[in-house]
Structures are given as C-alpha cells and as structure tokens.
Structure 1
Amino acid sequence: MKPLCGAALLLLLCAVVCAQDNRCICEKNKRVTNCRLENGVCRCDSIGSPGVSVNCHTLTPKCLLMKAEVMGSKSGRREKPKDAFEDTDGLYDPECENTGVFKAKQCNGTTCWCVNTAGVRRTDKQDADLKCSQLVRTMWIIIEMKHAESNAPLNDESLKRFFKETISKRYMLNRRYIADVLYEKPYITIDLKQNSSEKSFGDVDIADVAYYFEKDVKGDSVFHNNQLNVSIDNKMLNFEKIAVYYVDEIPPEFSMKSLTPGLIAVIVVVIIAIVTAIVVLVLTRRRKGKYVKAEVKEMNEMHRGLNA
C-alpha cells in the first residue's frame, strides 16, 4: 500500500512541476491569458478573442490588441502627403479574422464603415448595407511626436540612431521598413513604409509596430513590465503629444460629411468672404457707372448751352 501511495505522490509532484515548467510570461503582450509553452514557444490566448492564440515571441496583431483593450476597459513641420489621414475614432471593438487581421468591414450596431490593415476608418459611416470589397493595405505610416522642452540640444544623429535601433530591436521590424527619422525641433517624425509586395512572410506589420510604439510613448505599454525609456546621449526625453497618420495603397473615400466642424467652419468663412468681395465689387462698379453716366449727361447739356 505504501509503495502505491508513494508512486501516486510522485506522479502528483511531477504533474505540478510539469505544469509549472509549461507556464510562461508573454513579454510582448500583457493583455493575454492562459499562457503555456508549445514546442518551446510561449503561446497565450488573446483576451476578447476566444480560440485565438498569439505567439509571444513576436508582436501581436493590432486588431487583437484593440479587441483585448476594449474588453478590459470598456471605457514648422513637414507637410503631410495629400491622402494621409488620422484615426479620428480611437478605440472600438473590432471584428478580427482568425489570423488576427482586421475584417474589411467593421460595425457598431447598425452603423458600419470600411477600414484599412491598420484598422483605421477610411470611409464615411453608413448603414449595414455598406460593401467593403477588400481590406486596403496601409503602406506608409507617419509617426509625429513633439518632445517637451530640453535643457540641452539633442544630437540629430544620436536621436535617429536611437529610434532606428529601438524600432528594429524592441518591435522586431526589419530596418528596410524604417524609411526615415526626421528631427525638426521639437518634432520627431518617423516614416514606416511597407508595400504588400515588399512584406515577406514572417515580417511584423508596420501597423502593429506603430500601435505598440504609440502605446509605449503614452505610458501604456503593451509589453509585460517593460516600459520604454527614451534616452538620447543619457538625456531622458519626455513627449507632450503624438500623432499617427496613415497612407493607404488606395486613397480613402471620405465625403464632405466626414469633415471636422472646424474645417467646415473655415470653408464657410472663406465662401462668405468670397461672396462679400463679389458683392462689393459689383456695387462699386454700378456706382462708378452711374457717376460716369451723370458726368456725360452734364457735359452734353453744357455743350448744347454753348451752341445755343
């Protein structure tokens, strides 16, 4: 009997040890659950996406990150390209494919819209009959940051080197997709470019990189206990704002209805100014015409008086 009890205890101990050995921490995504080692790879279930697991050795697709965040909290610069646009909607509960990419059509109740591969709305919001024929690729992402006032000037080359190394190492992005890092004090602009024809299998997507980076800069890192510290030549750098612009392979399809109230107000003011200028010009010409006619009439009367 004792040997049997000993064997059972040994099996139980082995099961506990094996279970502990099978656990892992997802260093690149804290919004996961049920993490385990599978063939030496740490895989976890993405919160809010039942049945979808993520590989913790690489970046998690942005769609799954947004889904997890919603479920967890319900809550002189360079001119931009003509078709570049910002994300004006912010966080929403997205529909994701099993691969983690966004579905081309997203809806909130009976209101629907089309998105790009970054999950950013690229059409006006319409009813459920809206057709989104394809998921349009975001080929160029522009990250623009404004840093807080610095006591000492920043070295341009050191700054560029820091961001290129950080993006390639921390976010695992191939350096060939980092098109440029531009410094125009106090603005730092990072260009990430990745055409569908250039993206190789296994390459992380620039949309995922931009999302991770934006969260890092805002102090809400997705990484597990691994905050990003921006230090240029041993000088800590803090940021006041960050904006992300998207350029798709096919231009977005926004109508006048989607313009912001501020822009609409500016357009209205310009139109009123033009109309006012035209009215003033017409009235001025009419008055001038009446004056010329009166002057000609008086000259004719004087001429007849002299001839009388």
Structure 2
Amino acid sequence: MESALGAALFLILVAASAAQDGCICPMNKRTFCDMESGSCICMAVGSNQMVDCSTLTSKCLLMKAEMSTVKPRNFIKPKHAFLDNDGLYHPECDANGIFKARQCNNTDTCWCVNSAGVRRTDKGDQNMRCSELVRTSQILIELRHKEREAAFLEAEVENSLRQFIQKRYLLHQNFIPAVKYDYPFIQIDLKQNLMQKSYRDVDIADVAYYFEKDIKHDSLFHSNNAFNLSVSGEPLDIEEILIYYIDEKAPEFSMKQLSAGIIAVVVVVVLSFITGITVLVLTRRRKTGKYEKVEIKEMREMRRGQNA
C-alpha cells in the first residue's frame, strides 16, 4: 500500500514539474509528461503507454487511467453486494490502445465488447471466448438542454454543433451525417466504418467519450481548453446525455437481458392474443347453438303443419 502511494506521489511531482516547464498533454490531462532531448514526451496514467498529444487519446487508455486513479474502498461489504461495471471498468488494451475483444473483472467474470468497449454479450466465466472485436460503426448521441423561453433555430443548432465537434474533437465533417433538433432534444449522428477511417482520423467512440466527459463536467482536456458549448453566442446548457452504440454485427444478448418493461409488453400482447382467440371460439359456439335451436324449432312447426 505504501509503495503504491509513493508511486502515485512520484507521478504527481513529475507532472507538476513538467507543467512548470510547459510540457503537458493538452488533449489528455490523465498523463505524466517529461522533457526528453528537447521534446515533451507524455505517457498515459495506468498503462504507461506513450500518447500522441496532437490528437484524442483512445477511450481504452482513458478508462484505464481513470480506474487507476480511483481510490480503493476498504469497507467491509455485504455478502451479496455488487457493482455495475458496464459503464466503467478496468479494461484490457492492446499495444495500440484498442480494447481487447474479451474483458474480465477480478471476480473471473468475462464478457465480449465492441470497439467502443461497450459490453455486447451476456457475462460468462473465464472459459468465455470472443472471436473478434466487432466495430461500432455508428453512435447516436441524444441530448436534452434546459428549458428556455424560446427554442433555438434548427439550422443554428446543427451548424454550431458540427463546428464545435470538428474543432474540439478533431472529427471530420464526413463522419457527422446528421444533427437533428426537436426542442429541447438534440440527436447527433456519428458514422464511421473501418474502410472510411484513415490512420489519422479520430475514432467516433473516442469522440463520444470525450464529449460525454465534457457534458458531465469531468473534462479530459486541461483547464486552458475550457468547454464552452453555445448556439449563436447563447449558452447551450445540457442536462441529460444518452449514447447509443450500433455495431456492424448485432449484439448477442439472450432473452434474460430484456428489460422488465419490454417483457411486460410482450406478455400483454400474448395475453391479448389468447383472449381474442378465446372470445372468438366462445362466440362461435354460442352462435352455433342458437342456430341449431332455431332449426329444430322450425322443423317441429313444419311437421305440425303437415299433420294438420
């Protein structure tokens, strides 16, 4: 424990010294930097992998750095307590800072992720195999801004967000096919398949992660790169963000992953169908019985007429 605290203190001192020399990574504050042969060299916290400070750092290295700086909890936990690690976990990254297809936690639970590091299968044990890293080719970012006296103009929202994303996150306009506005909701569509992405293009998953951190007031940029989101000079105050991931291959969740709401809808539909069939059968039986009684009555009357 003491050695870990000592190492953390050392990194803080190194980072402070480097900052005084003007050697920082403007695109990633979770780095420690040092001058080497006249060049500012920056390494990612938690992985010690060198990062390119002229562009965005991969989401995998960012998550690894964040988990490395989280203070461990030493309280005794109840027997059945558990953490939902789907949002943030300690990822395994390859030599290029990309998520490995299979991720596991310290309880020997494993699952498969997409290129954005988002779980796309049920969880299993150490025997679980993930044959490939499925690429996330589309991301939908849905925002809701605070109530205001009048809505923004749709064209102004689109232009402002396009320019903002391109300038702050270095994402080319080709990868932003649509920005839709329906007061107070905004939807930003990001698309990027592997054939379209060049080596220098930032990944849409990294863009979405940086953007989400900015919205949640936990910016990954240094303070001299402040987050100021506005539309035609007026601040755009976001109070909610949802991010949907669409992969090149469908996720492999089982029925048990369906939410309670979806299951309830399915049950209602099935029960309605069964009820409809039951009513139809009973109605036909009643009609058939009625028709039979009418026929018998008519035959009796005809016989009486013949006998008369």
Aligned partners of 1:287 and 1:204: how far apart in 2? Answer: 70
From the superposition, tell whether residues 41 and 182 of structure 1 become closer, same or farther in structure 2 (CA, over 3 Å).
farther
Equivalent residues, number: 278
Q: How far apart are 1:43 and its partner, in Å? A: 3.5
Partner of 1:172: 170
Q: How far apart are 1:210 and its partner, in Å? A: 0.7
Aligned partners of 1:197 and 1:105: how far apart in 2? Answer: 23
Aligned partners of 1:39 and 1:191: how far apart in 2? Answer: 43
Partner of 1:24: 23
Contact 1:229 1:236 in 2 (8 A): yes
- The CA deviation string for residues 72-127 of structure 1, in whole angstroms up to 9 with x for no partner, is 3368xxxxxxxxxxx99311221111211000011233322211110111122223
Contact 2:137 2:191 in 1 (8 A): yes
Tell me, what secondary structure is at the counterpart of 1:54?
A: coil
* 4+ residue segments displaced more than 6 Å: 18-21
Aligned partners of 1:215 and 1:19: how far apart in 2? Answer: 25
Unaligned runs of at least 5 residues, structure 1: 1-17, 76-86
Q: How far apart are 1:152 and its partner, in Å? A: 3.3
Q: How far apart are 1:207 and its partner, in Å? A: 0.5
Q: How far apart are 1:41 and its partner, in Å? A: 5.3
Structure 1 residue 68 corresponds to structure 2 residue 50? no
Aligned partners of 1:263 and 1:236: how far apart in 2? Answer: 37
Tell me, what secondary structure is at the counterpart of 2:177?
A: strand
**Paired AA for residue 294 in structure 1:** K
Q: How far apart are 1:21 and its partner, in Å? A: 7.3
From the superposition, tell whether residues 39 and 57 of structure 1 become closer, same or farther in structure 2 (CA, over 3 Å).
farther
RMSD between aligned residues: 2.3
- The CA deviation string for residues 230-286 of structure 1, in whole angstroms up to 9 with x for no partner, is 211221111221111112122222221221121111111111111111111111111
Partner of 2:199: 201
Aligned partners of 1:282 and 1:20: how far apart in 2? Answer: 81
**Aligned-residue identity in percent:** 51
Q: How far apart are 1:19 and its partner, in Å? A: 7.1
Contact 1:26 1:35 in 2 (8 A): yes
5 Å-filtered alignment, 1:64-103, equals 64-73=61-70, 89-103=86-100
Aligned partners of 2:38 and 2:261: how far apart in 1? Answer: 54
TM-score (norm. length: structure 1): 0.83
Tell me, what secondary structure is at the counterpart of 1:228?
A: coil
Relative contact order (C-alpha < 8 Å, sep 6+): which is higher?
A: 1
Aligned partners of 1:88 and 1:190: how far apart in 2? Answer: 26
Aligned partners of 2:134 and 2:252: how far apart in 1? Answer: 12
**Paired AA for residue 67 in structure 1:** K
Q: How far apart are 1:39 and its partner, in Å? A: 6.1
Structure 1 residue 58 corresponds to structure 2 residue 55? yes
From the superposition, tell whether residues 280 and 107 of structure 1 become closer, same or farther in structure 2 (CA, over 3 Å).
same
Structure 1 residue 221 corresponds to structure 2 residue 205? no
Tell me, what secondary structure is at the counterpart of 1:198?
A: coil
5 Å-filtered alignment, 1:26-175, equals 26-32=25-31, 34-38=32-36, 42-49=40-47, 51-73=48-70, 89-108=86-105, 109-175=107-173
Q: How far apart are 1:217 and its partner, in Å? A: 1.4
Aligned partners of 1:278 and 1:19: how far apart in 2? Answer: 76
- The CA deviation string for residues 26-49 of structure 1, in whole angstroms up to 9 with x for no partner, is 2222223x3123566543332222
From the superposition, tell whether residues 250 and 153 of structure 1 become closer, same or farther in structure 2 (CA, over 3 Å).
same
Contact 2:210 2:219 in 1 (8 A): yes
Partner of 1:78: none
**Paired AA for residue 100 in structure 1:** G
Aligned partners of 2:35 and 2:266: how far apart in 1? Answer: 58
**Paired AA for residue 162 in structure 2:** K
Q: How far apart are 1:22 and its partner, in Å? A: 5.7
Partner of 2:7: none
- The CA deviation string for residues 189-235 of structure 1, in whole angstroms up to 9 with x for no partner, is 11111111111112111110010011111222111224422211221
TM-score (norm. length: structure 2): 0.83
Tell me, what secondary structure is at the counterpart of 1:161?
A: helix
Tell me, what secondary structure is at the counterpart of 1:183?
A: strand
Aligned partners of 2:61 and 2:242: how far apart in 1? Answer: 21
